[in-house]
Amino acid sequence: MRFSSQPTPATSQVEFGWLEQSEADLPVDGAWLSAGEAAQLERLRFPKRRADWRLGRWTAKRAVARYFKLPDEARALSGLEIRAAGDGAPEVFFESQPAGVAISISHRDGRAVCVVAPQGTELGCDLEVIEPRSDAFIADYFTAEEQALVARAPASLRPRMVTLVWSAKESALKALRQGLRLDTRCLTVNPHQAQAGVLWNALKCHLDGQLFTGWWSTDEKFVRTLVALYCWPCASPSCCPPHFLL
């Protein structure tokens, strides 16, 4: 998949591509890794960390390959390299040169996602398992407005609402390239209500008087969120949701 243009966020619409993979999609061998990635993998000691790292890199490299219309075979993928910047954010290189694309990666419970956009887009994505979280968690990490939002949710939907708010915070903090180094209460998440038959629903994040927008999607087990740190020129981000790179 390749976007038709690389617009400037302040003046025109940016499109996003989304790819999701599971451990079942991951090759057993490492022929698709670059030499630098293979060396980094060898330095990872713990099996779970190695498994998560491999799945995240595989998902990201396949997403970027589809962006550039490269084949999904090992030799082509080994020419791509995902490196961690000084702040930990992933950056893409092709044959040791910046690839001119922005990505964000998330993995959880045997699945990984990657979102792709034109270079210069400040974006973050997150994948979370829907599960109960304590009142203490909500009090520690959510703003008063978010706590009220959770309180209004029906009991059956409360775990999903808490997971959605937390996931959107994670996405926004990644887009800021800060992660959990910032207080999660520095921003407030306001997800739009789920619409029947709509795959991606809109959400908003308020941070220091600025409004940032994004999307969320869910199934019975996972919540997925994407946030980009600029305002869309259109009235609602729901008119330009991310495309699945199937």
pLDDT tens digits along 154-209: 999 999 999 999 999 999 999 998 877 788 999 999 999 888 888 899 999 988 87
Mean pLDDT estimate for the chain = 87
Q: What's the pLDDT at 237? A: 44
User: 159, 161, 175: which is closest to 216 by C-alpha?
Assistant: 161
Read off the tokens for 49: 């960390």
Q: CA gyration radius for the chain?
A: 18
Query: Could you tell me the pTM of the whole model?
Result: 0.87
Q: Where are the domains of the chain?
A: 17-121, 126-229
17-121 against 126-229: fold identical: yes
Helix (H, G, I), strand (E, B) or coil at 139: helix
CATH number, span 126-229: 3.90.470.20
Percent of the chain past pLDDT 90, that is, above it, reads: 69
pLDDT tens digits along 217-235: 999 999 999 999 764 444 3
Percent of the chain past pLDDT 70, that is, above it, reads: 88
> 90-94 and 123-129: which strand pairing?
unpaired
Q: What CATH class does 17-121 carry? A: alpha beta
CB-based contacts of 202, cutoff 8 Å, min separation 6: 191, 192, 213, 214, 215, 216, 236, 237, 238
